[in-house]
Chain A
Amino acid sequence: MIQEDHELSAWMDDWQSEEPRSATGPALDAAAILRQVKRRSLGLKLLTAGELLLAAGALLGLTLFALRHPDPMDVAVMASFCLLTLAALAFALWNRRGLWKPAAETTAAYLALARNRARRRQEALRVSWGLLTAETVLFIPWIWHALHTDGRHPGSLSYTLAYGYLAFVVGAMTALLAWLERWTRRERARLDAGGECK
């Protein structure tokens, strides 16, 4: 027992006698860290405000478009996009309920919270797939309608460009969602294993 305590105190001395060097320098400058942390904190707040502004901008843009193009098809499609945007916003807010807890919980409570966050993210991703499908379904006839407004007969290049752009955006979003889904699934599995990397 005494030998064990000697062993532990020797380990403690060794452990505490050094400060691991960081990539940016070994010295710990509390004032510099505070400045950096305040900048990051402000950045996060601006990011959240930016998300809301983006949604508000999208709603405004869609409404203005509908007002300037009073064609029934345009108005119906823009109104549908507005409803989808509002539904997505409402779901995002509802899905975050109860997750705004500080990081100073016990590790057991924090682990449960982290698992809950990952589960909610998976739900949000499922809704995102639905949203992407709904928007694609709306865009396909609307592009056709926009190309044929006023009795125009567009060439094949117009079709290729319009539908090619849609295919590119949908493809990029599909890849992003698939990557996020895989990342979230892996995180959830690790959290279920108690935070261990497998």
Chain B
Amino acid sequence: MDAVAILPVEGISERLEGRLEGLEARYERLLREHGPALRRATAGYEFDPVRREDLFQDICLAIWQALPRFRGDSSERTFLFRIAHNRGLTHRARRRPAPTADLTEAEEVADPAATPEAAAHDGQRRARLRDAVRRLPLEPQQVLTMTLEGLTPRDIADVLGITENNVAVRLSRARRLLRDTLAAAGEIS
């Protein structure tokens, strides 16, 4: 009898190859759909642009390593945010805190459709918001960034492993702190 017929090596190899291709396609789709949100989440943990890119790469690597074990017991977004926030947390614990840079001019993103003045104003407002969010303590910041990304309290509770009531308490505190910070920066009168 033919050895190949007894041990279907080619079949196994094709199945593995097919599985890998499926994983790659899924990974690319996840990054295309949620990459910008993950980048924004990363920005909450790191001020320095170079370190931020390193952290984003670490998150991407962790997602790639965890993806084969993801069985859909939570939504894809919850799965991705868990990884991003967990990596962000250890990053923050390991790194020496970087000086808080003034990002108002460095990272403004203007709307090309608006007038130059309006675009500049919008860009400054967004930069101040992001800067203020980054300055929040970790717990309220995590809840707030996920809320701003449109996650429900239940999703957030699922990501952080806390109760929905706890999410509400942290969010309320985060909003108060953000309001105060923006008011101090002259954004809210």
List residues of A whose CB falls within 8 A of some B CB: 4, 7-8, 11-12, 14-24, 28, 30-31, 33-34, 36-38, 40-41, 102-111, 114, 183, 187, 190-191, 194-197
Contact = CB atoms under 8 A, between A and B. Distances in A.
Contact of A24 (B37, B53, B145, B179): B53
Interface size class of B (residues with CB under 8 A): 35 or more
14 contacts: A15-B126, A15-B129, A16-B37, A16-B40, A19-B39, A23-B50, A41-B61, A104-B79, A107-B85, A107-B160, A111-B89, A187-B94, A190-B93, A195-B89
Contacts of B129: 11, 14-15
B83 A103 contact: yes
B107 A21 contact: yes
A197 B92 contact: yes
B17 interface: no
Q: By DSSP majority rule, is chain A's interface helix, strand, loop, or mixed?
A: helix
A40 B130 CA distance: 30
A23 B57 CA distance: 12
Interface in B40-54: 40, 42-43, 49-50, 52-53
B147 interface: yes
Nearest first, the 9 A-B pairs at minimum CB distance are: A106-B161, A108-B161, A197-B97, A30-B31, A190-B93, A15-B148, A195-B89, A110-B86, A30-B28
Given A12-B148, A28-B35, A30-B28, 14 more contacts: A15-B148, A16-B150, A17-B111, A20-B130, A23-B49, A34-B28, A103-B86, A104-B66, A104-B83, A105-B86, A107-B82, A107-B142, A191-B90, A191-B93
Interface of B: 24, 27-29, 31-32, 35-37, 39-40, 42-43, 49-50, 52-53, 56-57, 60-62, 64-66, 69-70, 79, 82-83, 85-87, 89-90, 92-97, 107, 109, 111, 122, 125-126, 129-130, 133, 137-139, 142, 145, 147-150, 158-162, 175, 178-179
Nearest to A115: B93
Q: By DSSP majority rule, is chain B's interface helix, strand, loop, or mixed?
A: helix
Contacts of B159: 106-107
A167 to B, nearest CB: 31
B160 A106 contact: yes
A107 B161 contact: yes
B16 to A, nearest CB: 15
